[in-house]
Chain A
């Protein structure tokens, strides 16, 4: 704390004001010890207090303080730190938010860092490849990575001499991600994959162009092609090379995302997908809420909750029939999503008759009851692709006969003999 007090005193000394160090210390002490304020917050608060006391304009004080020091990118290590940078604009990214003016990467001889210029900073636009002196930018931290924010207290000056970049020329074109097997993909990397689109899903969000499953000889993975990528649509059953996709992880599962840096190339070959079709045998022990006769949003096909879509609000829903079932083998459980077609086939209730049933009873719950009545407690074998905790059921077969072979085999097992393996 003594050190902090001294450093505040030194800063005031530079502008010719001698603040008694005991005053600073006692204020810091009160904030930190008594009011449990974090040290850097206390430091700021105390500094501001004395600025006010001696009627020094804040901007003047801070600019003057910040002026002489230039920070290297590699030295940016503290959240909330202010810095002045001499840096080159390595890359400009697509703007993701209306309050942001520009976003991209800055580099100097020591490293590269992300930067964000806020619209309300009202600064002139930077050009890719040019070098600038950026004054009074703030360091922020997001997901364990540092970035610099350029706000309305910051200033930018174009440099006539370019900043030399360390580690050779960093240009995005020079980087093409390595071709990888789908089974080997793990989170937080760039990759290139080649595979066959085995399933396209109904679009769940307007910012998504396409989503579905793509597979190669080693496995299957979920992909999302964002609308902002401006890439062409893919067709189910065709094979493609997807260059420079981002592999991310959600709920422990890897998935790939296509963005503006990605590309799609149609391939002539037909890639053989290692089918990750999954089969599960068990008793249906539950049908969960959200099953039976439901309404979906006409725009995004999401199931409505109390007549409202999470994205589009109150909408006139479209009827659908589905089952979220829990199958149970006795040692494990498996959630299964059964679509309208299979639900109709399995239960013998068509969508139209389900609507009629619900209208008669003034309650869509009767459809769910009926499904439970028909299906729960019975044994089924389901097959489908696995996604997160669900099997997207492609076929479901009720058990229709007793496995005589198994019965005879078990009966033949000797009674008293102990098995040794």
Chain B
């Protein structure tokens, strides 16, 4: 199994994921993973988020297909779970709301008719967690986002360079975002 490695689960806030629209995939290999490059240069295949499940709805027609909305201090993530994510779908069907949840999954994108790219998460696992875990995640994600912002500014490797070129967004916006997220931790404790 040489060459196989597990994709690390990236830590990205909801706002940054929502702003992301640059996907890439090795075209020569149909099993190659798809990556989503975020404005701060995270190359996301797998993602780990902890937030509050605030909405859920079964939008399936024949079989169950669940959509959930998980919020963090900067916005919200959409997660979709159907028959191929049985554990996650079952969790969404049964859980109470609101609840702190930890979601591990793969990012996917959908391009609308007018060219907008919508990002969502296909969960591999959803578990209910406590508030402490949620706060730890915010701190963790803040730290990793700041590190990426610094790397984008320094243009340390091709990914960061590409992110800077593709998203002509001032990285300061994300520094603000991180700051707000951190302040929310300060407030409620």
- Specify which chain B residues have a CB less than 8 angstroms from the CB of A399 in the assembled complex: 132, 136
Known contacts being A285-B48, A328-B9, is A410 close to B175, with CB within 8 Å? no
Least distance between B23 CB and chain A CB atoms (Å):
20
Is the beta-carbon distance between A411 and B129 smaller than 8 angstroms? no
Q: Is residue A33 within 8 Å, beta carbon to beta carbon, of the partner chain?
A: no
A300-343 interface bits toward B, Cβ cutoff 8 Å, 1 = contact, 0 = none = 00000000000000000000000000101111110000000000
Known contacts being A330-B48, A379-B133, is A416 close to B172, with CB within 8 Å? yes
Is the beta-carbon distance between A378 and B182 smaller than 8 angstroms? no
Of the candidates A285, A372, A400, the one having the most CB atoms from chain B within 10 angstroms of its own CB is A285
Binds B, one of A158-166, A228-236, A351-359, A401-409: A401-409
In the complex, how many residue pairs between chain A and chain B have their CB atoms under 8 Å apart? 95
Is the beta-carbon distance between B179 and A418 smaller than 8 angstroms? no
B2-38 interface bits toward A, Cβ cutoff 8 Å, 1 = contact, 0 = none = 0001111111000000000000000000000000000
| Residue ID in chain B nearest A401 by CB atoms | B132
Known contacts being A406-B143, A416-B172, A418-B153, is A333 close to B132, with CB within 8 Å? no
Q: Is residue B124 within 8 Å, beta carbon to beta carbon, of the partner chain?
A: yes
Cα(A356)–Cα(B139), bound, Å? 39
Q: Is residue A362 within 8 Å, beta carbon to beta carbon, of the partner chain?
A: no
Of the candidates A330, A332, A378, A415, the one having the most CB atoms from chain B within 10 angstroms of its own CB is A330
Is the beta-carbon distance between A377 and B179 smaller than 8 angstroms? no
Known contacts being A372-B125, A376-B104, A415-B176, is A330 close to B133, with CB within 8 Å? no
Is the beta-carbon distance between A376 and B9 smaller than 8 angstroms? no
Q: Is residue B57 within 8 Å, beta carbon to beta carbon, of the partner chain?
A: no
Q: Is residue A373 within 8 Å, beta carbon to beta carbon, of the partner chain?
A: yes
- Specify which chain A residues have a CB less than 8 angstroms from the CB of B5 in the assembled complex: 333
Is the beta-carbon distance between A330 and B144 smaller than 8 angstroms? yes
Is the beta-carbon distance between B132 and A411 smaller than 8 angstroms? no
| Residue ID in chain A nearest B5 by CB atoms | A333
Is the beta-carbon distance between B179 and A400 smaller than 8 angstroms? no
Least distance between B140 CB and chain A CB atoms (Å):
7
Q: Is residue B189 within 8 Å, beta carbon to beta carbon, of the partner chain?
A: yes
- Specify which chain B residues have a CB less than 8 angstroms from the CB of A401 in the assembled complex: 132
B132-161 interface bits toward A, Cβ cutoff 8 Å, 1 = contact, 0 = none = 110111011011101000100110000000
| Residue ID in chain A nearest B125 by CB atoms | A376
| Residue ID in chain A nearest B185 by CB atoms | A407
Least distance between A311 CB and chain B CB atoms (Å):
22
- Specify which chain B residues have a CB less than 8 angstroms from the CB of A378 in the assembled complex: 102, 129, 133
Q: Is residue A60 within 8 Å, beta carbon to beta carbon, of the partner chain?
A: no
Is the beta-carbon distance between A410 and B182 smaller than 8 angstroms? yes
Known contacts being A330-B48, A378-B133, is A402 close to B185, with CB within 8 Å? yes
Q: Is residue B109 within 8 Å, beta carbon to beta carbon, of the partner chain?
A: no
| Residue ID in chain A nearest B130 by CB atoms | A378
| Residue ID in chain B nearest A377 by CB atoms | B102
B42-59 interface bits toward A, Cβ cutoff 8 Å, 1 = contact, 0 = none = 000010101000000000
Cα(A410)–Cα(B150), bound, Å? 13
Q: Is residue B127 within 8 Å, beta carbon to beta carbon, of the partner chain?
A: yes
B contacts with A, residue count (CB < 8 A)? 43
Is the beta-carbon distance between B8 and A331 smaller than 8 angstroms? yes
Cα(A189)–Cα(B71), bound, Å? 58
Known contacts being A377-B125, A406-B139, is A419 close to B153, with CB within 8 Å? yes
Q: Which of A342-391 contact B (CB under 8 A)?
A: 372-373, 376-379
Of the candidates B48, B175, B178, B189, the one having the most CB atoms from chain A within 10 angstroms of its own CB is B48
- Specify which chain A residues have a CB less than 8 angstroms from the CB of B146 in the assembled complex: 410, 413
Q: Which of B162-189 contact A (CB under 8 A)?
A: 172, 175-176, 178-179, 182-183, 185-186, 189
Is the beta-carbon distance between B136 and A402 smaller than 8 angstroms? yes
Q: Is residue A283 within 8 Å, beta carbon to beta carbon, of the partner chain?
A: yes
- Specify which chain A residues have a CB less than 8 angstroms from the CB of B7 in the assembled complex: 333
- Specify which chain A residues have a CB less than 8 angstroms from the CB of B140 in the assembled complex: 283, 330, 379
- Specify which chain A residues have a CB less than 8 angstroms from the CB of B125 in the assembled complex: 285-286, 372, 376-377
Known contacts being A283-B102, A285-B125, is A328 close to B172, with CB within 8 Å? no
Cα(A152)–Cα(B148), bound, Å? 70
Contact with B139, one of A286, A329, A333, A403 (Cβ below 8 angstroms): A403
Is the beta-carbon distance between A283 and B9 smaller than 8 angstroms? yes
Of the candidates B140, B146, B176, the one having the most CB atoms from chain A within 10 angstroms of its own CB is B140
Cα(A410)–Cα(B124), bound, Å? 31
Is the beta-carbon distance between B10 and A410 smaller than 8 angstroms? no
Q: Which residues of B contact A (CB under 8 A)?
A: 5-11, 46, 48, 50, 101-104, 124-125, 127-129, 132-133, 135-137, 139-140, 142-144, 146, 150, 153-154, 172, 175-176, 178-179, 182-183, 185-186, 189
Q: Which residues of A contact B (CB under 8 A)?
A: 283, 285-286, 326, 328-333, 372-373, 376-379, 399-403, 406-407, 410-411, 413, 415-416, 418-419, 421
Given A330-B48, A376-B102, A410-B146, 17 more A-B residue pairs with CB atoms under 8 Å apart are: A283-B9, A328-B8, A328-B9, A328-B48, A330-B10, A330-B11, A331-B144, A332-B8, A376-B104, A377-B48, A377-B101, A379-B133, A402-B135, A402-B185, A407-B182, A407-B185, A410-B182
Please list 11 pairs of residues, one from A and one from B, whose beta carbons are closer than 8 Å in the complex, sorted by A's number: A285-B48, A286-B104, A330-B8, A330-B140, A330-B144, A377-B127, A378-B129, A413-B146, A415-B179, A419-B150, A421-B154
